[in-house]
Amino acid sequence: MTTIGFLGLGRMGAPMAGNLIGWVANGHGRLLVHDVSPAAVDALNAKGAEAAGSAAALGERCEIVFMSLPTPAIVRAAAEEVVSGGRPRILCDLSTSGPKLAQELHDLCAPKGVASFDAPVSGGIRGAEQGTLAIMAGGPQALWPELEPLLQRLGKPFYMGETPGAGQVTKLANNLLSLAAIATTAEAMTLGIKAGLDPARMIEVLNAGTGANSATRDKWPRAVLPRTFDFGFSAQLSLKDTRLALDEAQALGVPLPTGERLAALLDRVLAAYGDDADFTEMAKVVEADAGLDPARII
């Protein structure tokens, strides 16, 4: 039996850890969890997980440890604590923390005999809850057959290669496309609204045509048309991911003018709507630039 650990039970981590409980229920092993929020730990305990007590305890007691944490700095500190606590065989970072940190985690883990995987996910809170995330993983190929069945509990994993950061670069590319879809859809919809078209009818038509994308299919119907702007991913984290992409692009000598414009737009969202703004509020900034009142669009 294998003991696995999960560190970070936030809006993404909690449902991902929850999806691993079925693996425990089938008699494959144990699931230990930890978070800075005791309530989050208690909620998972009630479903069949066990409290570890600390990140170091996960390292002491678990063979495989997953992390889902908000920023590269927090991921790095948590990884150091996990590895200091013992010698897990595999440390898997599910966060979007960038290829530079993936290399740092490899350098931290390898001398201690710990295999490091970077496996960021895409699909949002709904994907985490439903176990339908796209998972982009980089790490030692020899250990992939052991890790893949666990990741399949969370969604559809894709092995991207042994180079540390292979999964992170894939995720950053995915996020650039996703954000660009929001920004371009906001511009197209604002054009139509300013011309007097019905927004809901526009989305219906766009989804039947070649302009369909992840924003028209999902984000507008769920969060923009009803004006709730509660899709569930923050503009702040989107900006963090975009800056990670820009940093990597600069290191590789790849111009990203669209990425720079997206970062500027997200900066404006945060300035206008605060640190808790949803990334779909990019639409409100575009609308306001066109002279529309975002509060009065229905």
| Maximum Cα–Cα distance across the chain | 63
Amino acid code (one letter) for 89: R
Strand-pair partners of 12: none
Cβ neighbors of 104 (< 8 A, separation 6 or more) are 76
Indicate which residue of 47, 171, 240, 284 is catalytic. 171
Name the region of 196 (left: φ>0; alpha: ψ -120 to 50; beta: rest): left
Between the CA of residue 6 and those of 85, 90, 156, 160, 238, what are the distances in Å?
A: 14, 12, 19, 22, 23
Q: 2-7 and 64-67 as β-strands: parallel, antiparallel, unpaired?
A: parallel
Residue 164: CB atoms within 10 A of its CB come to 24
Chain centre to alpha carbon of residue 262: 18
Q: 8 by DSSP, 3-state: which?
A: coil
Q: What DSSP character marks residue 227? A: T
In contact, 282 and 267? CB cutoff 8 Å = no
Angstrom distance (rounded) from CA 134 to CA 33: 22
Exposed, middle or buried by CB within 10 Å (0-12, 13-18, 19+), for 115? buried
219 catalytic, yes or no?
A: no
Distance between first and last Cα of the chain: 55
Active site amino acids: 171
